[in-house]
Amino acid sequence: MHPLPWVEEKYPRQHIFVSTPLLPFLSQPPPLNLNTPKNPVRGTWLIRASISTITTLVAGLVVIFVVHPDRWLIERVVFEGAERARIAELRHLSDLRNGTLVWAVEPLAIATAVERHPWVRSAAVRVIWPDTVHIQVEEHRVAALLHEHDRLLYIGHDGAAFLVAQPADLDYPHVTGIGRELGAKHPQLGNLAVQNALHLIDRLDREDLVAREDLSEIAFSPSLGFTVHTSGARIVFGHGDLQRQLDRLSALVAEGLDLRRRAYIDLAPETVAIVRPLEIPAGG
């Protein structure tokens, strides 16, 4: 018998409701657990889908390569920046033939090979998919001609000699007095003299004293310094303060000295400049 028969009679079992303070909490959903691990089944499915996609792409590339191998071959080699260097010579040095597999191209090795050309200062190589190799060339710029014993050498703006001069291309300032003998006795002095000569040529041109195209020769002497030859004048720069000598020459030009006329100008003395007429023999 039920311990409370009157309850059973008045309130049948299926209609009994118990009201307690806990019911509001029991009726709410449990709090969300943010640390609940992800569904491992879903993670596995994503991994399998990614692997399947990658496999399909690789397989597609393999099929394209097998069916259309011509799409993976180098068909064009483009050179830019080459003016002195001939394209045929650069192409030969690059040893890059049409039909080379695109992934067989080694940009660094090709750039090194192209830089063996005497006119090429630097080269940069890049592959343009699917069939082109682009080679950007930077050439040497001739700053002057160096007289070395019985030959003429092109020298760049860095002072380095890079090629024997061509007979039809000699219209540059000539640097003389720096030969093999000086280099053998004083290796550092020879290199320094070349760089100082180029610096003097540049300063005279930039300060509108002697234009580069009007300067025919700059002769070096270990004892005297540099003698600049123009179409008429001979200008001696000693081993002293170059800026002081340039300022003195600027003052002389401002006072009316014409550097195209025959004159001997010695700027080496510390306090004065010596200017006197110069008789230049015919042919020299």
pLDDT digits 0-9 by tens, 263-272: 999 999 999 9
**Using an 8 Å Cβ cutoff, are 103 and 131 in contact?**
no
Q: Is residue 2 part of a domain?
A: no
pLDDT above 90 (res 152): yes
pLDDT above 50 (res 178): yes
Taking only the tens place, the pLDDT of each residue in 108-137 is 999 999 999 999 999 999 999 989 999 999
Is 109 found in the same domain as 156? no
Is 224 found in the same domain as 196? yes
Task: Provide the number of structural domains found in the chain.
Answer: 3
Is 210 found in the same domain as 153? yes
Cα-based torsion angle of the residue sequence 268, 270, 274, 278 in order, rounded to the nearest 10 degrees: 0
142 closest CA partner among 117, 124, 160: 160
**Using CB atoms within 10 A of its CB, is residue 185 exposed (0-12), middle (13-18) or buried (19+)?**
exposed
Question: In whole angstroms, what is the distance from residue 103 CA to residue 123 CA?
Answer: 20
pLDDT above 50 (res 18): no
For the sheet with 274-277, list strands across it. Answer: 161-164, 151-156, 142-148, 174-176, 217-221, 225-229, 233-237, 263-266, 274-277
Strands 225-229 and 217-221: antiparallel
Is 201 found in the same domain as 149? yes
Q: Is residue 12 part of a domain?
A: no
